[in-house]
Copies of this chain bind each other. A is one copy, B any other.
Amino acid sequence: MKKLINGVESVEEQMILGLVKSAPDKLRKLDEGNVVVRAQKKEGKVALVSGGGSGHEPAHGGFVGEGMLDAAVAGAVFTSPTPDKIFAGIQAVATDKGVLCVVKNYTGDVMNFEMAIDMAKDEDIEADYVVVNDDVAVKDSLYTTGRRGVAGTVLVHKIAGAKAEQGASLPEVKAVAEKVIANVRTMGMAISPCTVPAAGKPGFELAEDEVEIGIGIHGEPGTTREKLSTADETAKKLLDKILADIDFKGQEVVVMVNGMGATPLMELYVINNFVQDYLKEQGVKVYDTMVGNYMTSIEMAGFSLTLLRLDDEMKALYDAKADTPALKR
């Protein structure tokens, strides 16, 4: 295992500290654990809380800030944070307008967030949650019942975050989060795996000419193993699966071309070149495009494509101001 770290035990905490120290006027780490919160608590708004295992940087700590999250709770790499840490995050940012948790659909995350919300309710904090399940690759997986939650989660952070920032009520913020979830779809692939520091070896192995289609974001293998093809053919395969899932024709969409961590921007741009042409051909109108590393799997090489069908409300919220380390608008 070749990594620029100081030890497998320290990696999550040092990473969170390093993130917070990159923006010390805007972010703060809780003493209770690897929980990133805004440096100045904002009252009078629904607090938006997310999190999950580490290894998806910049998700989720990099999305804490104005217009997006109030808190992000990081577990060990690819391991759900425990309920007490999630509760600490909720408690630190809770306002009298309540708390909405945005949870990626992985069994451990859903369970632990539910327990933390129960703990919050015991303390008279109004708390609720939504579960993101944008991955069209699999119905059920090793880690999840139902579709997995992956890169589309960032768009839930963005749009529900903007709604919360405007002072909307908890049911209103939840409703718009659910609307994003209903309209967002993702699929990913990898050309090389990643290594969980504590495991010391890759989650799977690929030959020089092999790729994994339909990977999740926890280093697990995908749904099919295939020969390496061109960028265009690979992107078409993912897009076709997404376009078959819900009807995007004639709709305005946000496109996210997301790197899995070690994919050079050169390749993401080459992929985007095809994606834009193909969507036009398919009658899908692109409202905006994001290209970069938003929801990664440590140093996995590969990418995911995300499409979000927009309406006027989502469009305005997508365009609203955001000031976070990983997303500014």
Contact = CB atoms under 8 A, between A and B. Distances in A.
Most B CB contacts (10 A, CB to CB) among A2, A192, A266 go to A266
A57 B5 contact: no
A92 to B, nearest CB: 21
Interface string A1-35: 01111110001001111110111000000000000
Where chain A touches its partner, the secondary structure class is: mixed
A265 interface: yes
Contacts of A318: none
A264 B231 contact: no
Contact of A271 (B4, B232, B296): B4
A266 B4 CA distance: 9
A293 interface: yes
A211 to B, nearest CB: 8
Interface stretch (A214-222, A241-249, A298-306): A298-306
A289 interface: yes
16 contacts: A3-B191, A4-B234, A5-B267, A15-B270, A15-B273, A17-B273, A22-B272, A22-B276, A54-B266, A57-B265, A262-B299, A262-B301, A263-B299, A264-B296, A264-B299, A293-B293
| Size bin of chain A's contact surface | 35 or more
Q: Say how many copies of this protein the assembly contains.
A: 2
A269 interface: yes
A174 to B, nearest CB: 29
A25 to B, nearest CB: 9
Interface in A101-139: none
A208 interface: yes
B262 A22 contact: no
A270 B228 contact: no
Nearest to A260: B264
